[in-house]
């Protein structure tokens, strides 16, 4: 009963915060809303702390467990420290994005702590004596990400970075940098779990930095340079097709090609979807999305039917055995989806309550984390996460930036985060897409993904602040 009450309290707090941020007309900003932010943070810390204590009481209470608890619990004082810095250095700007990201990240820390899983690979494992608990790495990555977020905002680093990206760098340079970084793991790293995506054991995944940072900037640069050619209602279809083909070639060479070498087919699909949305947004042509989907299905079907070396087998396994016909492959490729569907069904709609379920399964700390969230927090937990992602989108939709590049960037950042998250949910939770091995930002364990995400959300916050100031300025005139 107490577990259910604490779960209900946690869900109420995060839903109330998410709902308020999403539907509130005015942005939550400093210094105007300092008192409100403090109330919000207090409620959140009480809920977060209660859940952490609940998990501690229900677990082994060994020495290492107490240490992990101390670390997780210290997330609350850390947040207050960050708020203190923002107040001290007179930060003037919105915090909607920060608060939404906080909801997702905090839930991620809670769930990783709840799972109590660890890895023996990578730098963190060697530093921690052979066992890197995912709760600890999640906490470390999140706090690092928040620290970089706050420092970047306060120091003006994000503003300078945006200016540099817009005026001093070229589209091609971003492609070349990405290409070089993406080739590092196959050349210098080791294959882990069938993919060659990591450096230093299981520690750094360059593709996450590339996907979240350089791909988004590359796309925004490319599309902003050709904006006038492809976005006007009367602009010729020929121009659109020509530029789409150019974009496709560059993406294939700089991004998707190296991903294929790393065997990260799933990330390649999510990149494709991100590009579809960005091109559709820029050209203001909705038809690009369904045409793009049909093209993707055609490509996948081709690789399934035609025995192209390497790709045929991999695509067949991913698409047929572990998605379309998983019921017939429950003893091999379909096994993981079966476990995921079973865990979802066992929780019914409302979830079992934190610490009352049995959500452990393979990859639950990473790709299947949403299963654990829904298994214990139910549909309200799912809605809270979706609302938090919608807050990112709302900020992008409701703020117009002064230049094309900035406008595309402010939209591209949430699109890249949300499309990956929604694809993950669509494939693991509701089994309507093939599992692609892509994480859900903030929830899944992945230091590279979390840190890179916080950096880009910092950039987005800087852009939103700039847009708000311009809006205020134009009202005063």
Partner 1 sequence: MFDTGRKIIFFSFLFSTIAILGFFIHNIRSGNKALNTPLNKQLMRMPRAPIVDRNNKILAYTDKNGKRIYTEAEAAAQVVGYDSHGMSGLELEYAQRLTSNPSSRRWYFFSGGMDSNPLKTTLNVLFQRRMHNSLGNRNGAVVVFDAETSEVIVDVSHPTHNPNQLDKTWEELSKHNDGPLFNRAYGKYPPASTWKLVTSMLLGKKKLAGTYNCTGSYVVGDKTFHCTHPHGLLKKGGIKDALSVSCNCFFIENGLKKIPMDEFITASKLITKSKLPQDFNRKDYAGALIGQSFITASPMDMTRLCAAIINGGTLQEPKFAKKKETAVRLMDEKTAKELQQAMKLAIQSGTARKLSSYLKKGTAGIKTGTAEKMVNGKARNFTWMVGFARDDKNHRPAISFAVLVENVETTGAEECGPIVDELLSYYFSYKGK
Nearer to partner 1, 283 or 451 (CB): 283
Sites for partner 1 among residues 38-77 (CB under 8 A): none
* Residue in 246, 348, 403, 472 binding partner 1, rule: CB under 8 A: 348
Q: What's the closest the beta carbon of residue 230 comes to partner 1, in angstroms?
A: 11
Q: What's the closest the beta carbon of residue 457 comes to partner 1, in angstroms?
A: 17
Q: Does 331 bind partner 1 (CB under 8 A)?
A: yes
CA distance 172 to 186: 22
* Residue in 258, 351, 381, 439 binding partner 1, rule: CB under 8 A: 351
Sites for partner 1 among residues 208-247 (CB under 8 A): 231
Which one of 82-90, 115-123, 154-162, 385-393 is the stretch in contact with partner 1 (CB under 8 A)?
385-393
Which one of 38-46, 88-96, 136-144, 415-423 is the stretch in contact with partner 1 (CB under 8 A)?
415-423
Nearer to partner 1, 204 or 319 (CB): 319
Nearer to partner 1, 149 or 392 (CB): 392
* Residue in 411, 440, 457, 467 binding partner 1, rule: CB under 8 A: 411
Q: Does 346 bind partner 1 (CB under 8 A)?
A: yes
* Residue 223: Cβ-neighbour burial (10 angstroms; 0-12, 13-18, 19+): buried
What ranges in 321-403 are assigned the alpha helix state H?
Answer: 335-347, 369-398
* Residue in 269, 343, 354, 462 binding partner 1, rule: CB under 8 A: 343
CA distance 112 to 101: 16
Q: What's the closest the beta carbon of residue 14 comes to partner 1, in angstroms?
A: 16
| Cβ atoms 448, 208 nearer than 8 A | yes
Residues β-bridged to residue 93 = 30
Sites for partner 1 among residues 266-325 (CB under 8 A): 277, 280-284, 286, 289
DSSP secondary structure letters along 411-450: HHHHHHHHHHHHHHHHHHTS--S-------TTTS--HHHH
CA distance 147 to 344: 35
CA distance 386 to 381: 9
CA distance 379 to 338: 20
* Residue in 17, 54, 217, 415 binding partner 1, rule: CB under 8 A: 415
Which one of 134-142, 293-301, 410-418, 444-452 is the stretch in contact with partner 1 (CB under 8 A)?
410-418
* Residue in 432, 473, 475, 476 binding partner 1, rule: CB under 8 A: 432
Residue 30 belongs to what H/E stretch?
Answer: strand 29-30
Sign of the C-alpha dihedral computed for residues 273, 279, 284 and 288 taken in this order: negative
Q: What's the closest the beta carbon of residue 284 comes to partner 1, in angstroms?
A: 4
Q: What's the closest the beta carbon of residue 426 comes to partner 1, in angstroms?
A: 7
Per DSSP, the three-state class of 330 is: coil
Radius of gyration of the chain (CA): 22
Site size toward partner 1 (CB under 8 A) is 54
Residues β-bridged to residue 409 = none
Which one of 240-248, 264-272, 414-422, 441-449 is the stretch in contact with partner 1 (CB under 8 A)?
414-422
Q: Does 19 bind partner 1 (CB under 8 A)?
A: no
**Residues of 277-300 as b/e, b for ≥16 C-beta within 10 angstroms?**
bbbbbbbebeebeeebeeeeeeeb
Q: Does 125 bind partner 1 (CB under 8 A)?
A: no
DSSP state of 231: S
CA distance 76 to 365: 22
CA distance 421 to 442: 9
Among candidate residues 369, 392, 366, 393, the one with its CA nearest the CA of residue 382:
369
Q: Does 429 bind partner 1 (CB under 8 A)?
A: yes
Q: What count of other Cβ atoms lies within 10 Å of the Cβ of residue 32? A: 12
Which one of 182-190, 192-200, 341-349, 451-459 is the stretch in contact with partner 1 (CB under 8 A)?
341-349
CA distance 361 to 259: 27
Nearer to partner 1, 169 or 280 (CB): 280
Q: What's the closest the beta carbon of residue 205 comes to partner 1, in angstroms?
A: 25
Q: What's the closest the beta carbon of residue 5 comes to partner 1, in angstroms?
A: 7
Q: What's the closest the beta carbon of residue 281 comes to partner 1, in angstroms?
A: 4
Q: Does 470 bind partner 1 (CB under 8 A)?
A: no
Q: What's the closest the beta carbon of residue 254 comes to partner 1, in angstroms?
A: 24
CB under 8 Å to 127, separation ≥6 — which residues? none
Q: How far apart are the first and last CA of the chain?
A: 58
Q: Does 138 bind partner 1 (CB under 8 A)?
A: no
CA distance 74 to 446: 20
* Site of interaction with partner 1 (CB under 8 A): 1, 4-5, 8, 231, 277, 280-284, 286, 289, 326-327, 330-331, 335, 338-339, 341-352, 358, 360-361, 374, 379, 382-383, 386, 390, 393, 396-397, 411, 415, 418, 422, 425-426, 429-432
């Amino acid at each position: 009963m107490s577990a259910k009450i604490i779960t209900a309290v946690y869900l109420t707090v995060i839903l109330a915060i998410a709902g308020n941020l999403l539907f509130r007309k005015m942005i939550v900003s400093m210094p105007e809303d300092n008192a409100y932010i403090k109330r919000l943070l207090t409620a959140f810390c009480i809920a977060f702390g209660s859940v952490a204590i609940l998990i501690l009481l229900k677990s082994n209470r060994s020495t290492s467990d107490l240490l992990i608890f101390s670390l997780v619990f210290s997330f609350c004082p850390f947040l207050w420290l960050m708020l203190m810095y923002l107040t001290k250095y007179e930060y003037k700007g919105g915090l909607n994005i920060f608060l939404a990201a906080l909801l997702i990240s905090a839930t991620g820390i809670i769930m990783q702590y709840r799972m109590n899983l660890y890895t023996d690979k990578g730098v963190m494992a060697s530093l921690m004596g052979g066992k890197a608990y995912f709760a600890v790495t999640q906490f470390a990555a999140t706090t690092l990400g928040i620290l970089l977020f706050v420092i970047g905002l306060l120091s003006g680093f994000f503003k300078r970075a945006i200016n540099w990206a817009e005026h001093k760098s070229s589209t091609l340079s971003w492609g070349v940098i990405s290409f070089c970084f993406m080739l590092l793991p196959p050349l210098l790293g080791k294959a882990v779990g069938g993919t060659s995506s990591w450096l230093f054991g299981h520690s750094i995944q360059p593709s996450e930095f590339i996907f979240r940072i350089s791909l988004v900037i590359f796309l925004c640069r490319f599309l902003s340079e050709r904006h006038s050619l492809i976005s006007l209602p009367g602009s010729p279809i020929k121009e659109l097709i020509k530029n789409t083909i150019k974009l496709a070639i560059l993406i294939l060479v700089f991004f998707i090609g190296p991903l294929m070498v790393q065997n990260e087919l799933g990330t390649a699909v999510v990149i494709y979807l991100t590009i579809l949305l960005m091109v559709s947004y820029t050209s203001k042509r909705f038809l690009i999305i369904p045409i793009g989907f049909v093209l993707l299905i055609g490509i996948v079907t081709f690789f399934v039917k035609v025995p192209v070396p390497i790709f045929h087998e991999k695509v067949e396994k991913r698409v047929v055995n572990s998605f379309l016909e998983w019921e017939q492959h429950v003893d091999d490729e379909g096994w993981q989806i079966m476990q995921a569907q079973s865990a979802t069904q066992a929780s019914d709609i409302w979830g079992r309550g934190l610490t009352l379920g049995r959500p452990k399964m393979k990859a639950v700390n990473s790709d299947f984390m949403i299963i654990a969230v829904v298994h214990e927090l139910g549909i309200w937990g799912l809605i809270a996460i979706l609302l938090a992602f919608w807050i990112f989108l709302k900020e992008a939709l409701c703020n117009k930036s002064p230049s094309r590049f900035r406008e595309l960037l402010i939209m591209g950042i949430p699109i890249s985060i949300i499309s990956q998250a929604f694809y993950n949910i669509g494939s693991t939770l509701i089994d309507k897409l093939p599992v692609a091995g892509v994480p859900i930002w903030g929830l899944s364990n992945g230091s590279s993904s979390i840190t890179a995400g916080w950096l880009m959300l910092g950039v987005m916050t800087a852009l939103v602040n700039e847009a708000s100031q311009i809006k205020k300025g134009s009202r005063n005139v």
